[in-house]
Amino acid sequence: MTFGNCRVVLKLFLVIICAKLSHQTPAITAISPEQIRDIGSSVTLNCTIENASRYAVSWAKRHRDQPSDSVALTFRTQLTINDPRFEVNETMNGTTMIYSLTINKIEATDMGTYECQVIISFQQKNTSTVNLLVKHPPVISLSETTTSVNVAEGLPTQLSCAASGYPLPTISWTREYNAIMPHGGHSYRGKVLKLDKAHREDRGTYYCIADNGVGKPDKKMVSLEVEFPPRITAPRPKVAQAIDYDVELECKVEAYPAPAIVWYRNGATLTSNSHYRITNIATAFEITNSVVRVITIDKDSYGDYYCNATNKMGHDVARINLFESVLPILSPNASSK
Ligand SMILES: *[C@@H]1O[C@H](CO)[C@@H](O)[C@H](O)[C@H]1NC(C)=O
Ligand SMILES: *[C@@H]1O[C@H](CO)[C@@H](O)[C@H](O)[C@H]1NC(C)=O
Ligand SMILES: *[C@@H]1O[C@H](CO)[C@@H](O)[C@H](O)[C@H]1NC(C)=O
Ligand SMILES: *[C@@H]1O[C@H](CO)[C@@H](O)[C@H](O)[C@H]1NC(C)=O
Ligand SMILES: *[C@@H]1O[C@H](CO)[C@@H](O)[C@H](O)[C@H]1NC(C)=O
Ligand SMILES: *[C@@H]1O[C@H](CO)[C@@H](O)[C@H](O)[C@H]1NC(C)=O
Ligand SMILES: *[C@@H]1O[C@H](CO)[C@@H](O)[C@H](O)[C@H]1NC(C)=O
């Protein structure tokens, strides 16, 4: 306990003793209504007390999480906290006292409930409260906001977002590239973006935006991954080439998680060797291009090739038929031998 606090307690004791000797009963007859301020501005909270002259008065701030608890800010005309932004003033008019608390250069943390107190005895005090609301920009709460979600296709899921700020921010959602939202449209308003059934088209990056008109809106990225079985498309299901030339057979596989891709011919797995060269190239949006280059075609090379893609969600197969042409088919990429 500091020397200052000690003095305050002693004074309180003397004030209560004096008050007990008189018969006036103090009453708080008025207090300022709720005040709304911007950061950096100032406010004076006024408390009108009748018959208070012999009693100790005080301003306190209630704890946000524990309203029954409060921290004393002033005792009569003295500050009990060391913050030069605060001022206290006591003016008497007859038996009426106006006891005021001024807060300068308001900060976001000044927001809260302030209590005017008349201390009647150690056990009893008369109190009245006024709320100070401080306008401050939105801040998205990381602990209450989804960062990423993985969901199997067809199952329900949801993305959540919460933000603090005053006035209470509105929460809305948009998608990267301004893509269509699962419910249609380009944005959705609400804290929770619910999907009854996740579709592969819903996967991607979402943005939660919190706005309250004060300062800049806050924005956080939320990623949604939808797991779905492979779907194969063969851009050219029938491919012609002449003997002694090379050819490329191509499958486009869309899947998440990334699939295992295997090429088959006559029931046997193809591997890269002197006859085949297999390349898998992952492109954007969970699409893998799988290409088998058949090197120096001979009579046995003609027939059906299968590309088979598997992930934990399922599998898909595509057939590509290679048939003989009399003249070599030249493409800029598939050069002749
Ligand atoms: C102030 O005290 C006087 C004397 O005790 C009493 O008559 C009066 O009602 C009190 N005023 C208020 C507002 O309580
Ligand atoms: C409190 O009283 C002062 C002086 O009369 C006045 O300037 C101020 O606006 C009052 N505060 C409120 C919140 O009404
Ligand atoms: C207290 O308030 C009165 C009336 O509003 C004013 O005249 C006086 O200057 C103030 N005193 C202080 C120390 O602010
Ligand atoms: C003091 O109180 C009286 C009556 O209650 C009122 O008429 C007068 O305006 C008050 N004076 C001040 C300075 O507030
Ligand atoms: C203040 O205290 C008096 C006496 O204890 C009581 O009659 C009155 O109701 C109290 N007023 C408030 C606003 O708490
Ligand atoms: C493709 O792979 C899956 C899973 O390994 C298997 O069940 C399926 O029979 C394969 N298809 C072909 C044509 O090999
Ligand atoms: C040929 O290569 C170019 C780029 O090098 C590519 O854009 C194109 O798709 C390829 N064409 C075929 C048929 O593979």
Cβ atoms within 10 Å of 336's Cβ, excluding its own: 12
Domain count, the chain: 3
CB count in 10 Å sphere of residue 85? 13
* Residue 55 confidence (pLDDT) above 90: no
Where among 197, 227, 257 does a domain terminate? 227
Residue ending a domain, among 135, 151, 171, is 135
Say if CB 327 and CB 245 are below 8 A apart: no
Contact (Cβ atoms closer than 8 angstroms) between residue 32 and residue 130: yes
Question: pLDDT tens, 172-187?
Answer: 999 999 999 998 999 9
* Rounded Cα gap, residues 25 and 50, in angstroms: 8
Residues 115 and 45 in one domain: yes
In this structure, is residue 274 part of a structural domain?
Answer: yes
* Same-domain pairing of 317 and 266: yes
Type of residue numbered 100: S
pTM: 0.68
Does a structural domain hold residue 334?
Answer: no
Q: Do 182 and 281 lie in a common domain? A: no
Q: Which of 265, 305, 315, 320 to mutate to test the pocket of ligand 6 (most atoms within 8 A of CB)?
A: 315
Nearest atom in ligand 2 to 100's CA: 1
Determine, yes or no, domain membership for 313.
Answer: yes
Decide if pLDDT at 160 tops 80. Answer: yes
Going from the Cα of 59 to the center of ligand 1, the distance in angstroms, rounded, reads 22
Determine which residue's CA is closest to atom 8 belonging to ligand 5.
Answer: 27
187 with 98, same domain: the answer is no
Examine residue 332 and state whether it is found in any structural domain, yes or no: no
**Does some domain include residue 316?**
yes
Phi then psi for residue 260, to 5 deg, are -90, 130
Closest ligand 7 atom to 235 CA? 13
- Atom of ligand 5 at shortest distance to CA of 120? 5
Q: Out of 2-11, 72-81, 104-113, which region has the weakest mean confidence (pLDDT)?
A: 2-11
Q: Are residues 95 and 201 in the same domain?
A: no
What pLDDT is recorded for position 123?
84
pLDDT at residue 14, rounded to an integer:
55
Residue 333 belongs to some domain of the structure: no
Same domain (yes/no): 112, 146: no
Instruction: Judge whether 123 lies within some domain.
Output: yes
Instruction: Specify whether 131 is located in the same domain as 207.
Output: no
pLDDT average, residue stretch 207-233? 95
Helix, strand, coil content of the chain in percent (nearest 5): 10, 55, 35
In percent, the amount of the chain with pLDDT more than 70 equals: 91
Highest mean pLDDT among 156-165, 269-278, 321-330: 156-165
- Please report the pLDDT score of residue 127 as a whole number: 94
Give the number of the ligand closest to the Cα of residue 46. Answer: 2
221-249 mean pLDDT: 94
Regarding whether 303 and 213 lie in a shared domain, the answer is no
Residue after which a domain boundary falls, among 70, 102, 135: 135
User: Do 116 and 28 share a structural domain?
Assistant: yes
Give the pocket of ligand 6 (CB within 6 Å). 264, 306, 308, 310, 315, 317
- pLDDT value at position 333? 55
Residue nearest to atom 9 of ligand 4 (CA): 93
Q: What is the CATH number of the domain that holds 259?
A: 2.60.40.10
Looking at residue 336, its pLDDT comes to 43
Vertex 33: Cα angle to 31 and 36 (nearest 5): 135
Are residues 14 and 110 located together in one domain of the fold?
yes
**Same domain membership, residue 154 and residue 204:** yes
pLDDT at position 337: 41
Q: What pLDDT was estimated at residue 15?
A: 54
Residues 223 and 238 occupy one common structural domain:
no
Average pLDDT over residues 124-143: 94
Q: Domain range for residue 198?
A: 141-227
Cβ–Cβ < 8 Å for 98, 46 = yes
pLDDT band at residue 124, thresholds of 50, 70 and 90? Answer: confident
3 state DSSP class of 26: coil
Query: Looking at the domain assignment, is residue 244 inside a domain?
Result: yes
CA–CA separation, 276 vs 303, rounded Å?
Answer: 15
Looking at residue 330, what is its pLDDT? 81
| The predicted structure's pLDDT at residue 9 | 59
pLDDT of 334 strictly over 60: no
Amino acid type, 327: L
Name 103's Cβ contacts closer than 8 Å, sequence gap at least 6: 42, 43, 45, 85, 86, 110, 132
Q: How remote is the CA of residue 313 from the centroid of ligand 7, in Å?
A: 31
